[in-house]
Structure 1
């Protein structure tokens, strides 16, 4: 009897689809983990073969024949399929869309799973000195020739892409002159561009103890929480653990919260190990992502550095997972398939029976709770590496003080003293743009987004008003649309405004702004970081991009211009996030032998969060905050699921979630709270009206059991056809 193919297709339906194999297919080619082209409605789609069955779920005569088996060998192993099936069940998300998240875009579209070598620009002449002279009147071509002289075996296309000038025109000019040519590099990475292998640093006793504990767990599942103060040498621990895994013939996955952290960590790993290092994040081209994906899947690349989407990447011989800055909210996908890369990494390690290391200076309360329950083993690095002292805190009460673009006279004086010593200052401003609001001083009109319940942000650099929620933008207006007055004023602070003010206050100092706007071009962030490390920058102004993982030895002063924004909020997580942010930003000050100072501007100097954080550190804050959560029965002492619904009219999402709430209340017990539905805090976004409904329970199994029982009934509701809806398991943002 012909086997039935159980295929996951990327559609919003919570099921597998049955097909018969293509005519003439050898049974040996029907391996779970291969891609399958199938007819789906009037279209053809690419799916993943999840398994085989003897009998279909419908009559055999109704089954369609799969069009083709695309792969001779599985792209996903049985362990990979097991992880994806678990993720689909836990997050209550359609299996086809979960499987799609594990593939690159090219592979999802049926592109060949072939090793695609990266193009190299190579010199076509051995006399590069003469070639450089021949390009004297074309400075960019001459610069490329100098780069080719440094790397005579060729410069990878990805390396050229990091340059912040028009290298493409220069390369075309060299090719026309017969001085260079493109060729394909079949290696996993470009060895010619690897730095020499550097020896490991000397470890302090805390680092030695942490490494020994993880080393002893190799080959079996253990989850470790590595809590190390900022500057304690967590990266060196990661490097030496990587050496342990490589020595045993394994591969290692290191997950990072932000794209901007990969270049400097990549440099550290490449300088330490003479093996290919794969990078995987959304900033790469699709060809680059496929190359990294296939390199890890085939075992041809040993080290992976990636952001949250890399957690599902197939790895032939995975020996360990490391997740740095485990507390970071960037590890949670906030749309579509809403998974937590941290939690998936822990489950993947458990399924593979390997260790997983979660590192942070400010661990999430969920991880602290898991330590208390014996689920994670706690490792501590309580001291800064090299004996550096922790920075000192200064609370600046700015009530009644005249501020200059958000900067108090005392903070300006601190900056002046720092610059006089030849040291660097870092100012944290958690808003990009010039100002968050543009208002009319005559009538009070405010520039609002046409599609969202949000103000437009002033971007003075390119004279634009932008919505940071939906992407809408327009030219900066010159007069009020309400009364016609030209007296329009920007309210509030953004990084651009503080940068401009510091340029006026300290005209002889070089201030640079690091945020998503200033680092949009490929290679720009790396260039700015290099200037900082080389001492060509005096003042750094930045958003959260500067708070994570960066090492600035010359920075001795950190100023947080507005610590109050996180002190009063309806979000029960705001205190935790504020404490984490303050601690992380403060950690940039006083590395190595220089003493650091952290200045917090506040109008609430008596706030208990600030006093606990300064007096007892983050661990003291975490203990106090955990007790508050326990008393209020909030996560991590309860479990949540947030139902979201949206539509073009306001009634449809409300009616849909009311039906969901009614169905839940018909079968629920006292152990499940059903709260809502209520309008989302931003009720209109991108032209859609939004509502939400919260389920909460102290029993995880009860919460998931109720959702699983409700889903078939919800899918049949007429109201479900009029809205877009989703479930967010373990939401990190209710507001």
Structure 2
């Protein structure tokens, strides 16, 4: 009997993304969860694959053989394979899209074509132009990639000529597999056994051997430092046979040099916090728990106690935060309490650091894992608790394939491990709170602030209030000045980065838009250029209107850069800190800037939504909110919910400790109930209004939404694809799934109808998320890709 491997193949198009059977060569130690390379397709091009299962069979006549084994030990375990299958079913992703969220990018493999010349090969007299030159370039190396050959020869028809050279036997192609990030290695030194010197050693050499006798084995760098010698001394000792050099893999610690001695002081809970803690522990562990508490009520204290309980049981915990900007304070708190038992997984780390942290987690070197959305896939064994802080944030929803909801993945993992899932928020998502109110989640509440008082909130009507300068109202400016005089700190939220948000022509009224996207470009003062915040395109500021040629082009709209400049003009004595994507690109920028603000080195912090949640600064007694009106009227049915959450969270940054807090919300719509409810921090009243709206209009939690987006470089093709999908879906649903409750809206164009050079439109299906609905969708997708215009992509997103 021969061994057969079921293999998922990378870069398979949607209609060919399935399991393929391959013959395992004799003696190749293939295991489930290992990556392999396999010949794929008619051309037998080598592709990366993942072994999903193994079986035995005698019928092997038509099977291709696995070409090589990439991993000696499985990279994907039993639980991760189950997660991959769950992701494929629930998010309609490809096999390898699922693989990519389970392992760090640093462990990814690149398969690289290399071309080598056959010895003695000659080209026929009628060889195409450029073939001889290309062959000579290949002969000049030990294997060259197409990129290298294109650069060396400048040949525009490179791939046709390479095919010709291979067909006539002049060159051959080989695949070189290369890991994206290699292990970090250092050269180590140890004493050689049984060394007997043939001639007297120098004083420096004796000093080196004395250090080695004390430490046993050290790196060359450390040895030179401790003994005060140069590397030449060590090298001469190696030549004399006195020491041995060898390579050792080292761990890339993202917080090297920042460690502190852990201070695990007992956590003292208030009566209200203790009651919430007891409610969570008494609840069904198989059911998620929601910890709802007003801002500043001490939710973190409750889940820290739960983590202590989990560790005491010998189990491990994952704690997630919605944004990288929140991780510095969280990491500092956890590392000061738990020390090296804490691991960190987020995108600000280098690729090598993320890879090493992932391995440390997999190998059991950390008991608490902290990170953003991707941390939900951390390879944790013996998992006892997952905490999702600020669970309502949209950053917990992936916007690229696989389009998963973090809480749903966490539920699957907790079910597998018998672990507890805790969702925390001062403004829970309407869906989560509804689940808690109807008994599907355990509900624990914290209704009072730890300090006992909420900030006083003033709603400023910008249509009736004088401004000081271009941006700030008189009342807010007066309060900023008062805080400066009292030596207290202020936070200002302006959720738009850049200097000016639009450049517009006064003659024709058109804005300067990105050539790749249907969006106005933002002016950035730092580099004096216009930038697209969707595709990253930048360009110089035009002297005339690109649409009509008029010179009457003007800037308008306010971003964080302009606000910073205006604050500096109004309050020259103030120390201003700006926090947005542009100021936090460097490593540890969040830690350093938030740390400086906490230490009192700045008076006013102005920033985007990264300053609005999860931050605790004792000296902050004033919060100002600017320009939130536009968020109320996006085309998302959750726009009121998101605005309410943002306002509630940022207002809650003020007066969190002993000092009383104030907040000022500037708006042109002061009578909109969202502002009054957020000012009062009255989530219950907001929920009652919002759940009624959802029920009447049939939105989640009363249905699920399947949004299918269609993209193409051709606007006509994207719309044709949408119409085709709608026809196929309607036909199959009526024929075989008539019992399913489905309501179709669209197709319609997206508000941003073009992004990164691709046109977009969509349709929405109000439905029930169950096995048959997902089966129907997958079948329609298969039919769609068999009939759709070339280049049209269908992107389903089931909410």
Report the TM-score range of the alignment, normalised by the length of the smaller protein. Answer: 0.7 to 0.9
Of residues 416-425 and 29-38 in structure 1, the stretch that sits farther from structure 2 once superposed is: 29-38
The answer as to whether partners of 1:434 and 1:457 remain within 8 angstroms in 2 is: yes
Deviations 1:318-367 (A, max 9, x none): 22111111111111111232111122112211222210111111111111
Q: Deviations over 1:252-286 (max 9, x none)?
A: 11122111222221111110013332111222222
* Alignment counterpart, residue 794 of structure 2, candidates 715, 725, 729: 725
Question: The residue matched to 1:417 in structure 2 has which SS?
Answer: helix
Structure 1 vs Structure 2 CA RMSD: 3.0
Which whole-Å CA distance do the structure 2 matches of 1:525 and 1:708 have between them? Answer: 42
Aligned to 1:679: 749
Whether the 8 Å contact between 1:453 and 1:682 is mirrored in structure 2 is yes
> 1:383 & 1:572 partners in 2: Cα distance?
30
**CA distance change for structure 1 residues 269 and 177 in 2, over 3 Å: closer, same or farther?**
farther
The match for 2:461 is: 397
1:331 is aligned to 2:396: yes
Identify the match of residue 710 of structure 1 among 780, 785, 790. 780
Q: Does the 8 Å contact 1:425/1:540 carry over to 2?
A: yes
2:40/2:47 contact within 8 Å kept: yes
Report the Cα offset of residue 117 of structure 1: 6.0
For structure 1, the residue ranges without an aligned partner over 5 or more in a row are 122-152, 156-173, 731-735
Q: How does 1:194-593 map to 2 (within 5 A)?
A: 194-198=259-263, 199-215=265-281, 220-385=285-450, 387-403=451-467, 404-481=469-546, 486-593=551-658
2:99 match: 99
**Does structure 2 conserve the Cα–Cα contact (< 8 Å) formed by 1:256 and 1:262?**
yes
1-side partners of 2:186 and 2:529: how far apart? 38
Say if 2:683 is the partner of 1:622: no
Deviates most, 662-671 or 327-336:
662-671
Deviations 1:33-54 (A, max 9, x none): 2222322344333322221234
1:612 equivalent to 2:699? Answer: no
**Maintained 8 Å contact 2:2/2:57:** no
Counterpart Cα distance in 2 of 1:120 and 1:444: 65
The CA deviation at 1:69 is 3.3
1:63 to 1:469, Cα distance in 2 relative to 1, 3 A: same
- Aligned pairs, how many? 671
* In 1, Cα distance between equivalents of 2:412 and 2:230: 50
Cα 1:75–1:188 shift into 2, 3 Å: farther
- CA deviations on 1:135-171 (whole Å, 9 max, x unpaired) are xxxxxxxxxxxxxxxxxx999xxxxxxxxxxxxxxxx
Mapped to 1, the partners of 2:551 and 2:256 lie a distance apart of: 60
Partner of 2:193: none
Q: How far apart, in 1, do the equivalents of 2:31 and 2:649 lie?
A: 47
Q: Distance in 2 between matches of 1:409 and 1:355?
A: 50
SS, match of residue 461 in structure 1: coil
Give deviations 1:466-507, integer Å, cap 9, x for gaps. Answer: 011111111233444456655542211111111111111111
Given that 2:706 and 2:767 are in contact with CA atoms closer than 8 Å, whether structure 1 keeps it comes out as no
Aligned to 1:133: none
The answer to whether the 8 Å contact 1:394/1:599 transfers is: yes
Find the counterpart in structure 1 of residue 155 from structure 2: none
CA contact (8 A) 1:672 1:702 kept: no
In 2, distance between residues paired with 1:448 and 1:600? 31
SS in 2 for 1:722: coil
Using the size of structure 1 for normalisation, the TM-score is: 0.85
- Could you tell me which runs of 5 or more consecutive residues in structure 2 were left unpaired when the two chains were aligned: 110-176, 189-216, 220-228, 234-246
**Distance in 1 between residues matched to 2:413 and 2:253, nearest whole Å:** 25
Would the aligned equivalents of 1:10 and 1:99 in 2 still touch at CA under 8 Å? no
Contact 1:189 1:278 in 2 (8 A): no
Moved more, 534-543 or 71-80: 71-80
Please tell me whether the aligned partners of residues 280 and 444 of structure 2 are also in contact (alpha carbons under 8 angstroms).
no
Helix, strand or coil for the counterpart of 2:66?
A: coil
Q: 1:71·1:113 contact (CA, 8 Å) conserved in 2?
A: no
What TM-score do the two structures reach when normalised by structure 2? 0.79
